[in-house]
Amino acid sequence: MNENVIIGWTDYKIKPPDKEGVYEWQVPNKYIKTLIVQFQAKMRLRGAGYRQIISPEFDHWDGYNVIVPMNTFWRNVETIDKNIVIVEAEKILPCPFCNRIPCLEGMEYNRCATVGARPNDFNRWWMKCCEWTNTPHVDDPKALISLRNKKLKSFKYANE
């Protein structure tokens, strides 16, 4: 399969979005190279040296160029909800207390300080829904989802 084609997604390096607005993105994680993070972010007008360009809000300006991570894909969104972050893992089971699907949250943790980060830069992950179900912070969101689902399934069968 061509690495520049993901069904329903457009490769940013071949054709970036041509207008401002919110789009859905698939971007490789900065720390776990095999992890693809999916989230919504704006394409916005920004200064780039002596000119204005449209680029995603998770870009990086190095003083000369606007840099977007390699293997970034985008598509139009159907419903705007910039709080949803998805990783390619098994489906997250609902919370046994509030019956909602927990949100996957994260941050970039660097040298004992938290740094505001874009979802593709997260290196600490946790899930959150109601006050009873916050999970510990872990390095790998796939492992967190898998372990949580396994525990919930064993709890369910133990109480039937």
* pLDDT 10s digits, 23-72: 999 999 999 989 999 999 999 999 888 888 999 999 988 988 899 999 99
67 and 122 fall within a common domain: no
What is the Cα–Cα distance from 12 to 155, expressed in whole angstroms? 43
CA 4 remoteness from chain centre: 20
- Is 116 a domain residue? yes
Grade residue 135 by pLDDT with cuts at 50, 70 and 90.
confident
111 and 141 fall within a common domain: yes
Does residue 158 have a pLDDT over 60?
no
Tell me how crowded residue 160 is: count the other CB atoms within 10 A of its CB: 5
122 and 60 fall within a common domain: no
Does residue 136 have a pLDDT over 90?
no
42 and 107 fall within a common domain: no
Alpha helix positions (H), the chain: 141-158
Domain boundary residue, one of 44, 76, 108:
76
Query: Buried b / exposed e across 24-39, counting CB within 10 Å, b at 16+?
Result: bbbbbbbebeebbbbb
65 and 89 fall within a common domain: no
65 and 123 fall within a common domain: no
* pLDDT 10s digits, 82-104: 778 888 877 899 988 888 889 88
Share of the chain above pLDDT 70, in %: 89
The number of folded domains in the chain is: 2
Distant-in-sequence, close-in-space partners of 16: CB < 8 Å, separation ≥ 6: 43, 54, 55, 68, 74
pTM, to two decimals? 0.81
Domain boundary residue, one of 23, 48, 76:
76
55 and 106 fall within a common domain: no
62 and 92 fall within a common domain: no
How confident is the model at residue 132, as a pLDDT?
Answer: 72
Whether 73 and 25 have beta carbons less than 8 Å apart is answered as yes
How confident is the model at residue 20, as a pLDDT?
Answer: 95
Structural domain range at position 43: 10-76
89 and 149 fall within a common domain: yes
What is the Cα–Cα distance from 36 to 152, expressed in whole angstroms? 25
